[in-house]
């Protein structure tokens, strides 16, 4: 007998723990054979041990007869042959019962199979991010240390999906993976990247290609010999687009603390913004916490960015925008935008 944490519970576990697999460690060949569902008392013990109190657990079982119907447990029957490396061994609270979690790549596939594309994209961004949830930390988020690598990457998920050909969910997972952006430093950044980057039919503004926390070299004066000095800065979000063969860039920074006048944090953020503003052809905007809760303001900033990037207004319509059909289409788009905003920007999920 063994227990295998899966689906959304597995994603939550990865986002709240250091990555368990050591670099260069041999890939696990464990299978679903023998997987069982814990009883109610074991579920409570697992929730405590895994630091998932209040989280409904998802587990895999290898036979329909092993399913349990419990308040804090979802059981998922898995009879498919999983690709090698689909299970990762983690410490167990029982000496006699091994404990596994599905790999980050399989967890992404599972979520993509049973949710909307937007939820799958958000999950993929979390699993490919550089942050970890820590409820005791300031703001509830910490950056992963060099020894605590991010759970996976876009290329890692892509390779897994290649090995998983024929499994249920591969097609929607590939579709969602197209929009996953790596290196988010917070859940809010993931939500903003989706809001500004996703195609209009998914509720996004589709302003341009989104990059999260790229390194940018900025001017830092000259040394005593007159040589130019540079420093590395990391704008939260950079959106890029081309017009007539020329590339344009817009940077957004999200200041979660919303700056008290004169505070050390405010001064540091202002210096950072001013440095990024020196980069040629890069227009820089800053969003604070109150902005993130204001749908209309986020839309306005997106349209300002679109203007800087010299892009046409979206969504594109085949009918006049002021016609009955055009107004219906724009109303439907607005509803998709608001749903995306409510679910993943204002209501950013922290796993």
Average pLDDT over residues 119-131: 97
Check pLDDT > 90 for residue 269. no
Is the per-residue pLDDT at 275 higher than 70?
no
User: How much is the pTM?
Assistant: 0.89
pLDDT at 13 (0 to 100): 97
Query: In the predicted model, is pLDDT for residue 162 greater than 90?
Result: yes
Give the integer Cα–Cα distance in Å for 31 and 203: 39
The span from the CA of 162 to the CA of 138, in Å, is 39
In this structure, the chain runs to a length of: 351
How far apart (Å, rounded) are the C-alpha atoms in residues 309 and 252? 13
Q: What is the pLDDT of residue 267?
A: 44
Mean per-residue pLDDT over the chain, rounded:
87
Does the pLDDT value for residue 202 go beyond 80?
Answer: yes
d(CA 56, CA 214): 35
* Both structure tokens of 111: 């979520």
- Tell me the CA end-to-end span of the chain in Å, nearest whole number: 28
Q: Does the pLDDT at position 295 exceed 80?
A: yes
For residue 261, pLDDT over 60 is answered with no
Model confidence over 72-106: pLDDT tens digits?
Answer: 999 999 988 899 889 999 999 999 999 999 999 99
Task: List CB contacts of 299: < 8 A, sequence separation 6 or more.
Answer: 205, 337
């Amino acid at each position: 007998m063994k227990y295998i944490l899966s689906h959304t519970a597995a994603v939550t576990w990865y986002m709240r723990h250091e990555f368990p697999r050591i670099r260069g460690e041999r890939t696990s060949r464990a299978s679903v054979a023998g997987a069982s569902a814990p009883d109610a008392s074991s579920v409570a013990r697992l929730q405590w041990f895994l630091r998932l109190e209040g989280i409904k657990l998802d587990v895999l079982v290898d036979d329909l007869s092993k399913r349990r119907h419990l308040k804090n447990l979802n059981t998922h029957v898995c009879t498919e042959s999983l690709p090698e490396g689909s299970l990762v061994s983690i410490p167990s609270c029982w000496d006699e019962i091994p404990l596994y979690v599905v790999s980050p790549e399989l967890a992404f596939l599972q979520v993509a199979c049973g949710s909307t594309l937007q939820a799958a994209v958000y999950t993929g961004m979390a699993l490919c991010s550089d942050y970890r949830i820590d409820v005791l930390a300031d703001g509830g988020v910490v950056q992963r240390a060099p020894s605590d690598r991010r759970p996976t990457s876009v290329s890692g998920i892509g390779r897994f999906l290649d090995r998983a050909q024929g499994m249920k969910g591969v097609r929607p997972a590939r579709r969602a993976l197209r929009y996953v952006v790596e290196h988010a430093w917070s859940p809010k950044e993931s939500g903003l990247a989706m809001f500004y980057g996703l195609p209009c039919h998914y509720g996004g503004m589709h302003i341009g290609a989104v990059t999260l926390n790229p390194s940018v070299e900025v001017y830092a004066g000259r040394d005593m010999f007159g040589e130019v000095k540079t420093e590395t800065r990391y704008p939260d979000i950079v959106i890029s687009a081309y017009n007539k063969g020329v590339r344009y860039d817009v940077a957004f920074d999200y200041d979660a603390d919303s700056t008290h006048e004169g505070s050390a944090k405010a001064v540091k953020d202002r210096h950072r913004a001013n440095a990024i503003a020196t980069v040629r052809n890069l227009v820089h905007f800053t969003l604070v916490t109150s902005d993130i809760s204001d749908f209309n303001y986020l839309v306005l900033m997106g349209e300002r960015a679109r203007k800087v990037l010299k892009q046409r207004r979206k969504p594109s319509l085949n009918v006049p925008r002021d016609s009955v059909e055009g107004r219906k289409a724009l109303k439907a788009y607005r509803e998709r935008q608001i749903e995306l905003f409510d679910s993943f920007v204002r209501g950013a999920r922290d796993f």
